[in-house]
A and B are shown apart, each in its own frame.
Chain A
Amino acid sequence: MLLIACPWCGERDETEFHYGGQAHVAHPADPHALTDAEWGAYLFVRDNPKGEFAERWVHSAGCRRWFNVVRHTVTHDISAVYPAGQPRPNEQGEGTA
C-alpha cells in the first residue's frame, strides 16, 4: 500500500485515493483544428515510462481535491507532490511543465 501525502490532509493510505492518469495533458486550444488522429492521440495516447511519472490523484475519501504526484513506476517512490495547476518540479531536467 502506498502512503500518499495529500497536499491538504497529509499522509494517508492509498485506499483513500483514486488515480487520474497522466498529469499535464493539456486540452487542445482549438479541438476543431485537429485531425482525427491528433484528437485520438490527445484522448487515448499516454506516456508509459519506466521511471518517474507525473500523474493525477484525487483524495476521494478525504478532502476530494485533485493534485499531482511524481511516482517512480518501478519502485513506487514518490518524489514530489504538488497542487493541480502547478508545473512539474524539474529535478533532473527531464520534467515538462
Chain B
Amino acid sequence: MTVDGFALAHLRRSPLGHLADRFAASSVPGPGGVRLRELPFLTQLNLRLDPTGPAAARAAEALGAPLPTGACQAAGTGALRVLRLGPDEWLVVGPDGAAPTLGDTLRQALGEEPGSVVDVSANRTTLELAGPSARPVLEQGCSLDLHPRAFGPGRCAQTTVAKVQVVLDQLDDEPCYRLLVRDSFAQYLADWLLDAAGESQAPLLASQSAGQSGGNAMKR
C-alpha cells in the first residue's frame, strides 16, 4: 500500500491487533477445544449485479469460482470466498492486498451491465472461531440454528452474534467459522467471544490443570 510513493503498510493497525496475546492464551487445543484469532485486513469487495445477466457468468469466470446461486450460500476456499448477501449482492473475500487487482477484474467482468463493485475492505475485520467447541461457543450469542442439519460449510448468514451485526461464514466441518464484524464493534465482539469461550472451556481447562498437561490454560 502506497500513497505518493510512501509505504503505508507498516502504519496500519488492525482493530484487534492488540488482542493477539489474549486470543492465543484462550485457545485450547484438542477435542473440545476452541481457537480464536483475527484475520486482519482481508480484502472485501461488495459485488452487485443481476444474477441472471451475462455479467454474472463473466464474474464467476473472473473469480474462478461460481457465484453461489442459493440464498445465504457461500462458495470458494478460505483464500477466495464468495458470500451471497442478497438477491443481487455478493461479498467477495480475498487475501490482504488483493483489492485493486480483484476489483479491476470484477469491474471488467461487469462491463456495461448495471451493477457495482465497491471495495469495503476497511468496513469490517474478520474473527476466526474454530475447533470442536466453536459451535457451542457461538450458540451462546447467536439465535440461528447452527446444527449441521441446518447450517454447515458452504453456508453464510447475516445475523447478530451477541447483538452485534455480523456476516457469519462456515468454512469447514471442524467447524471453522468466520465472523466479519464492523471495526467499531470488533473489540466488543472479541471480548464477548473470549468470555464465552472461557465459560465453555472452563471444565476442560480445570481438568487439564488438575491432570497432567495443563499446558495451555486460559489466563483469564
Contacts and interface: CB of A to CB of B under 8 A. Distances in A.
Interface string B86-110: 1101000000000000000000000
B159 A16 contact: yes
A79 to B, nearest CB: 22
A63 B160 contact: no
A16 B86 contact: no
Contacts of B160: 13, 15-16, 61
Given A9-B71, A10-B71, A10-B72, A63 B159 contact: no
A8 interface: yes
Contacts of B85: 63
A24 to B, nearest CB: 21
Contacts of A16: 159-160
A82 to B, nearest CB: 14
Q: State the main secondary structure of chain B at its contact with A.
A: strand
Contacts of B157: 9, 62
Interface in A57-97: 61-65
B200 interface: no
B143 A9 contact: no
Interface of B: 71-72, 85-87, 89, 143-144, 157-160, 163, 165
Given A9-B72, A12-B144, A61-B159, 17 more contacts: A8-B71, A8-B87, A9-B157, A9-B159, A10-B71, A10-B72, A12-B143, A12-B159, A15-B160, A15-B163, A16-B159, A61-B158, A61-B160, A63-B85, A63-B158, A64-B86, A65-B86
